């Protein structure tokens, strides 16, 4: 089991590292065409949105739609706060506080 576990962790490490490493090495040394730069420029907004929204409106395994949950409710004032103040620290603190309060009401 011990060698098995070492092999497992090593294998997991390699397959995790490669997708992180390959684009950094290859894309950072070549001159990128304009369309690719534009495409990469949209990636952060697209990825963040794709990470957040499903986590706010789906639950369970297999996933199903759950619109009415504290996480989504709290996200609306959190988003407005972020938009108005443009403060990361403030947004994280407000988000946590609202989620805490919402949790007490919901459960």
Site for other proteins in 14-33 (CB under 8 A): 15-17, 19-29, 32
Task: For residue 23, give both structure tokens.
Answer: 């684009």
Interface with other proteins includes 37 (CB under 8 A)? yes
Contact (Cβ atoms closer than 8 angstroms) between residue 106 and residue 70: yes
Q: In the bound complex, what is the minimum distance in angstroms from residue 45's beta carbon to other proteins?
A: 4
Q: In the bound complex, what is the minimum distance in angstroms from residue 68's beta carbon to other proteins?
A: 15
**Binding residue (CB under 8 A) for other proteins from 48, 68, 73, 105:** 48
The number of C-alpha atoms within 13 Å of 30 and in the hemisphere containing its C-beta is 11
Longest Cα separation, the chain: 54
Residue whose C-alpha is closest to residue 58's, from 66, 68, 47, 48 = 66
- Report the distance separating Cα 97 and Cα 90, nearest Å: 10
Task: Give the orientation angle of helix 70-85 with respect to helix 34-57, to 10 degrees.
Answer: 140
Interface with other proteins includes 73 (CB under 8 A)? no
Q: In the bound complex, what is the minimum distance in angstroms from residue 80's beta carbon to other proteins?
A: 9
Q: In the bound complex, what is the minimum distance in angstroms from residue 1's beta carbon to other proteins?
A: 9
Interface with other proteins includes 96 (CB under 8 A)? yes
Interface with other proteins includes 39 (CB under 8 A)? yes
């Amino acid at each position: 089991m011990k060698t098995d576990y070492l092999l497992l962790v090593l294998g997991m490490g390699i397959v995790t590292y490669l997708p992180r490493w390959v684009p950094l090495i290859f894309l950072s040394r070549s001159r990128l065409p304009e369309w690719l730069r534009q495409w990469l420029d949209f990636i952060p907004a697209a990825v963040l949105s794709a990470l957040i929204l499903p986590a706010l409106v789906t639950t369970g395994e297999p996933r199903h739609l759950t619109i009415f949950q504290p996480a989504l409710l709290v996200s609306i004032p959190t988003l407005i706060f972020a938009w108005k103040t443009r403060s990361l620290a403030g947004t994280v603190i407000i988000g946590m506080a609202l989620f805490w309060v919402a949790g007490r009401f919901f459960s």
